[in-house]
């Protein structure tokens, strides 16, 4: 799946979860997926907790987070 297609799986809508980026068609925020992975959750564990979640959704969440971080401003100390 291409980067563009993966990122289409993430939507931002002010009427859904106060405009936080979520997996398309759900109310599951990207931040929840990224945080659970940071604490050691596996893809299989995520899919067990959220049966609607696909491998592509998880990849999309991680890619979205990486792209957002890449555009943050960096200040020299």
Predicted confidence (pLDDT) per residue in 9-67, tens digit:
999 999 999 999 999 999 999 999 999 999 999 999 999 999 999 999 999 999 999 99
Neighbour tally for 77: CB within 10 Å: 2
List the structure tokens of 44: 């299989």
The residue ranges of every structural domain in the chain are 3-70
Map residue 41 onto helix, strand or coil. coil
Q: At what angle do helices 30-38 and 55-70 cross, to 10 degrees?
A: 90
**Residue 51, token pair as written in the block:** 């049966």
Task: Please tell me the class of the 3-70 domain.
Answer: mainly alpha
- Lookup: tokens for 35: 């945080």
Q: How far apart are CA 72 and CA 17, in angstroms?
A: 22
- CA dist 50 and 73 (Å) reads 33
**pTM reported for the whole predicted model:** 0.90
């Amino acid at each position: 799946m291409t980067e563009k297609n993966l990122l289409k799986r993430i939507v931002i809508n002010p009427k859904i979860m106060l405009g936080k980026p979520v997996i398309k068609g759900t109310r599951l925020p990207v931040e929840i997926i990224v945080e659970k992975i940071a604490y050691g959750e596996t893809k299989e564990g995520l899919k067990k907790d959220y049966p609607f979640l696909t491998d592509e959704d998880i990849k999309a969440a991680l890619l979205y987070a990486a792209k957002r971080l890449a555009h943050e401003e960096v200040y020299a100390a």
